[in-house]
Every structure is written in structure tokens, then in C-alpha cells.
Structure 1
Amino acid sequence: MKLLEFRGVGKSFGGLRASDDVSFSVGDGEIVGLIGPNGAGKTTLFAMASGFLPPTDGEIWFAGRRVDGQGAAQICAAGLVRTFQIVKPFGEMTVLENAMIGAFLRHPRRDDAAEAAMKVLRRVGLGGREHQVARTLTLSGRKRLEVAKALATQPRLLLLDEVMAGLTTVETADMVALVLDLRRTGISVLIIEHNMKAVMQLSDRIVVVHHGRKISEGEPNAVANDPEVVKAYLGEAHA
């Protein structure tokens, strides 16, 4: 079953075409990698899917309903939520309070939200740090908190934007294990990632965008050997 669908989606900023006629889907229970050089339009696709930007043209469908044109709050309530490449926790609040912000979506009572948030924190490896002030976390801790805030909304589909950027090899391996665990519990994932080893390990399929257009889609090994993908990443001399 297709959970998320981009149907000929485009986005223009004045004369700049950030996305152009992009079509692909994420299936229920699937992990899809979204890759491409810097400036390829990956985060713009995330912003449109999650309601932060309206597409200029095309349609976006989630769980059988058209969602382009809806606000971020509506789309989040429907079960689609994103993280951000630049992590910005509420710095003076505790780790628990940060996670509770997401939990309040499904749990209006404070005690219930706190209980749900604690479960999420333990799941992402932040158990025992719930009373720590968020700004004092390491980069790895802030990345995990970013995921926790999103998970606390109880999504069906999680859009992860470079959650492994800047992490050590060990921290990256832990994040890979976390993403795989999310899928095992029924959460679908669309992930933007520049760590090719990690994205190849995680993804059932990979979609490649370049200059706003989709240039390849398929299983990881096939995409890695696609001449158009090699050319996009390494230039004409390597095509």
C-alpha cells in the first residue's frame, strides 16, 4: 500500500525551480532513502510533504488523502511528521519537556503526555536524561531528541532529514539500529542522508534527485551503479 505519494510535484521560488515534476511513493512499512547532491531539492520535498511549503504544482497524497495545501499541524495530526537538518531543541527546557510537546498531540493531559514522552526517550536512548537541560546535550543527544520530539506525535510516517550528519561511526551505527527498530514497530521512513553506507544499509529503495528532478529510483545496488547517479555525484569525467 502506498502511504505517501508525490505526483508530479514542483516548487518554484521566483525564477528558481527547486523541484520539477517529481513523482515517487513510500509504501506502508517501507524505508526509502532520498539522496542527491547539495541543493538538489531534497529538503524542499520534505517541506512540501509536511505542510511547511505549498507545492507550485502537482499533488501530494498521504494515507489515501490529498494533503498538499494543508497546514503542518493538520498533516502532523494525520500521522506524517518530519525532523529538521539543523536541530534546534527548546534549549532552556528539559529533555522531557521537549518530548512532551510532541506527546501533547495525542495526550492532552500532562501526566499522560509525560508518560508517553518518557517511553519515547527510553526508546531513542535518552532514558535517564529526562531532567537534563536540552541545550547541554551533545550533538548526538540533540539528534536523538529531534527524533524523539517527532516520535512522540505517534506518526505513521517519519521524514528524517540528515539525522546522522556529524555523528561518529559508533553513533551512526546506533542511529541506523534505531531507524530499523522504528520500521519493525510499524513506522514507515523517508530519509535524507549523505552517509552513503548508512543509507544503502537502511533503504528498501532509493530515490535520487538532481537539480530538482528525479533522475533514478530503485534498489540500493542498482541506484549506486546507475551512470546518471555517478555523473550527478562525481561529474562528467566519471560518467
Structure 2
Amino acid sequence: MTMTGKLLEFEGVGKSFGGLRAIDDVSFTVSENEIVGLIGPNGAGKTTLFAMASGFLKPTDGRIHFQGRRIDGFDPPRICRAGLVRTFQIVKPFGEMTVIENAMVGAFLHHPRPEEARELAAAVLKQVGLGGREEQVAKTLTLSGRKRLEVAKALATNPKLLLLDEVMAGLNTVETAEMVELIHSLRASGVSILVIEHNMKAVMNLSDKIVVIQYGKKIAEGLPAEVANDPQVISAYLGGEHVA
């Protein structure tokens, strides 16, 4: 833990793909025990920020620190071992494997003995609401179940910071409320959260802080109520019905 309690820091981060500037001078932090919502229109650059933080892409410029240590340029396994792990927007479990075998893949990171990995995987599955489904074949899960399994696979790596990419996309109202409850419980267990989400009601109710990205630039950052009433954000993304 740093003296400031900052866990993840983006400092003037930029990313170019040829002539396209996908991310331009973005800076913000995620502190310990915090849930931060990352929002913006499709194509704004949110997933690119996730990819850079988790090691799948290297920034063109700027720096990324995790727990006070510079990590941009590290590969994904090294970043995952350090305690920063992401989920993916399109969930792709190992379909022919059982639910617990999927979760064990993450558990093996710190627990190479199969019996220990299985014990941890079972505990994580119970935590995400998949207890009792350990032997179910993963491809037979509902969308909600597959999203929970995606979270379980990440949790099994024992993260300090979890990057969630649209874990509520495609869920109905009840399933969304359950996912919000799950994310709150993860924070209560000591995991900080950075979440990309298009469900505005859910992300505003969930997050301690909102960061808004448009065309690769940060256009707003603050408490959910402040961001929801920011004219630039309303114009760019939220729409007038969210002002109230």
C-alpha cells in the first residue's frame, strides 16, 4: 500500500494505432477499497485502457503504476501475479470443462497442487453464487452464469484489483441487481474494482467515483451525481433523461 492509498494510477497515458489516437493523455486513479466506474460511448477507448493496465497492450506514452510500481510494459501473467486481473466483455469459458475446472485455471496461479486449487475454486464459486454447480459443464450455463464464472476465474487468482468489462451486459433487471450485489460483496471482501459498464443506472448506483472517456480523452471525473449533471457528459453520452 502506498502512502496515498492509491492502487492503480494512469498518468498521461496515450495509445496510438498507426495514425489513430485511441487514448490521449488520460490520468486517473483507483484507490484501495474503491469502486470506480469507467463510462463513455462505444469506441471511446475504455477497453483499450483495460488492455494497457492488464498488459495486453503497451502504452505509446505515459505511465501506469500498480501499488506504487510501474507496470506498463509488463506482460499479463506478471501483472496478474501482482494482483491486477481483468475479465473480458465477451465471456468465453472453457466450454467442455466443468465449472470448477474453469475456476481452477485461475487458482493454479498461486496454488499449483490440484487439491489446493480445487478447494480455492470451490470457495470462489460459492462466493459468486455458483455453489452446487461445480460439476456442471460450463457451456450449459446461462449468460448470467457464464458471467459469474468469468468473475470466479478472475477471483481465483487472488486479485487486489479486479477490472470488470461489462459484466452486466445482456442481463435482465433481476440478474443486474444480483451482479451489483455481488460486486459490492467483492469490495467488502477486500477487492477494489474498476468497471466498464453501459447500464447507467447500475453503474451510477454502484460506483464511488465515475470517470468518463470520449474519443480517447477524459472529459469528466467525480462523484456519480456530479458526473450525471455535467453538461459535457450529458451532451456526450448520458442523455437528458439522466440529469434528474
Please give the TM-score of this superposition, normalised by the length of structure 1: 0.97
Following superposition, the deviation at residue 46 of structure 1 comes to 0.2
Residue aligning to 1:114: 118
How many Å separate the matches in 2 of 1:155 and 1:234? 31
- The 5 Å alignment of 1:83-232 reads 83-232=87-236
How many Å separate the matches in 2 of 1:93 and 1:11? 36
Code of the residue aligned with 2:8 in structure 1: it is: L
Give me the identity figure in percent: 75
- The 5 Å alignment of 1:35-114 reads 35-114=39-118
How many Å separate the matches in 1 of 2:233 and 2:112? 46
Following superposition, the deviation at residue 41 of structure 1 comes to 0.2
Distance 1:109 1:210, change over 3 A: same
- Is 1:14 the equivalent of 2:18? yes
Matched-pair contact (CA < 8 Å) for 2:64–2:70: yes
Deviations 1:178-207 (A, max 9, x none): 000011111000000001111011100000
Name the Cα RMSD after superposition.
Answer: 1.3
How many Å separate the matches in 1 of 2:184 and 2:90? 22
Deviations 1:165-224 (A, max 9, x none): 000100001000000001111100000000111101110000000000000000000000
How many Å separate the matches in 1 of 2:18 and 2:131? 46
Following superposition, the deviation at residue 140 of structure 1 comes to 0.3
How many Å separate the matches in 1 of 2:31 and 2:122? 29
Following superposition, the deviation at residue 229 of structure 1 comes to 0.3
Code of the residue aligned with 1:66 in structure 2: it is: R
Q: 1:32 aligns with which of 27, 36, 39?
A: 36
Q: How many residues in Structure 1 have an aligned counterpart in Structure 2?
A: 237
Matched-pair contact (CA < 8 Å) for 2:108–2:117: yes
SS of residue in 1 equivalent to 2:25? strand
Matched-pair contact (CA < 8 Å) for 2:228–2:238: no
Distance 1:234 1:186, change over 3 A: closer
Code of the residue aligned with 2:143 in structure 1: it is: L
Following superposition, the deviation at residue 234 of structure 1 comes to 6.0
Which ranges in structure 1 are unaligned for 5 or more consecutive residues? none
Distance 1:116 1:234, change over 3 A: closer
Code of the residue aligned with 1:45 in structure 2: it is: L
How many Å separate the matches in 2 of 1:135 and 1:52? 26
SS of residue in 2 equivalent to 1:33? strand
Distance 1:31 1:234, change over 3 A: closer
Code of the residue aligned with 2:69 in structure 1: it is: R
How many Å separate the matches in 1 of 2:142 and 2:182? 18
